[in-house]
Amino acid sequence: MSDQIIGLQDWLQTPPGRYLLDWERAQVDRAVADMFGYHALQLGLPTLAGLQHNRMPHRWLATQEMPASPPDADLNMDVQASTPDVPLAFITDFDALPFPAASLDLVVLPHTLELSNAHETLREVERVLVAEGRVVVCGLNPTSLWALRRARQRLWRLLGLGRFMGPDYLPQQDAFLGVWRLRDWLRLLGFQVEVVRYGCYAPAVGSVGWLQRFAWLDRLGARWWPIFGAAYMVVAVKKVRGARLLGAAWKTKPVRATTVVAGQRRQDVAKKETEQ
């Protein structure tokens, strides 16, 4: 597990890794900026900083182990108060979060399901989220040009031709979780998918110059072959059957005093007539 996490962190420093990280940051910032509540949590990948633009007063960053080099000098793993820019960070297992049931309004999972037990992590996320709480998932798309290059490299190694291949293009995760499978898992847990976005349509090239030359494919791919982007972001909301959200108290219509007084007067008149 630790080798996979280190591999992902190192890969994010490469040109395609930075290209992917920039797209994911933009999408997550856009998604969480207007999500309101009190408690938000990000599981893993501190480099993404997915809660930076969220306005919830209590925010946490959970990791499975101490990062070798924190991306921000102000970010440390000591217990400290949350600031507007830096959430409180701590270490925990993703399948056993230290939060009571129905206590969080937002959970961000940047490649978390690819680096952990996806089933157990999603069950734990469902447990800690309140009704109408949201989960944001980022992952690598198994039906993309990037995944195709990764599959080709694995095939060449099985055929004993690995010496003719260069270094791995993608980080060494066991398997990528596709959007359709993620949808099924979320539905089984009572989530309703609200947003699905794909991105990073450049071919599997490893230099900044070539990535810039293929930047026009991001606009074209988003229109003509959206599901083949190298990465995706999914936003889902937890639905609880039978739950009813209470509206604001000021929306309740007040009872007019004149109506009560008039009704009381009629009762008094009727009582006097009965006594007479």
**Predicted TM-score (pTM) above 0.85:** no
Place of tokens 């129905």: 102
Structure tokens at 64: 């499975």
Check residue 72 and give its pLDDT. Answer: 46
In sign, the C-alpha dihedral spanning 70, 73, 79, 80 is negative
Amino acid at 159: L
Nearest to 113 by CA among 137, 135, 147, 136: 137
Amino acid at 200: C
- Count of CB atoms situated within 10 Å of the CB of 3: 8
Check residue 176 and give its pLDDT. Answer: 81
Task: At 203, give phi and psi (nearest 5°).
Answer: -65, 170
Q: How many Å is the Cα radius of gyration of the chain?
A: 26
Per-residue pLDDT of the chain (276 residues; tens, 9 = 90+): 444 554 778 888 889 889 999 999 999 999 999 899 999 999 999 999 999 999 999 999 999 876 554 444 344 433 344 445 567 888 889 999 999 999 999 999 999 998 888 999 999 999 999 999 999 999 999 888 887 877 666 665 566 655 555 556 667 665 788 999 999 999 999 999 999 999 999 888 878 888 888 888 888 888 888 889 989 999 999 998 766 655 555 555 655 655 455 556 566 656 666 666
Q: Where are the alpha helices (DSSP H) in 109-206?
A: 118-128, 145-158, 179-188
Domains and CATH numbers, the chain: 2-275 (3.40.50.150)
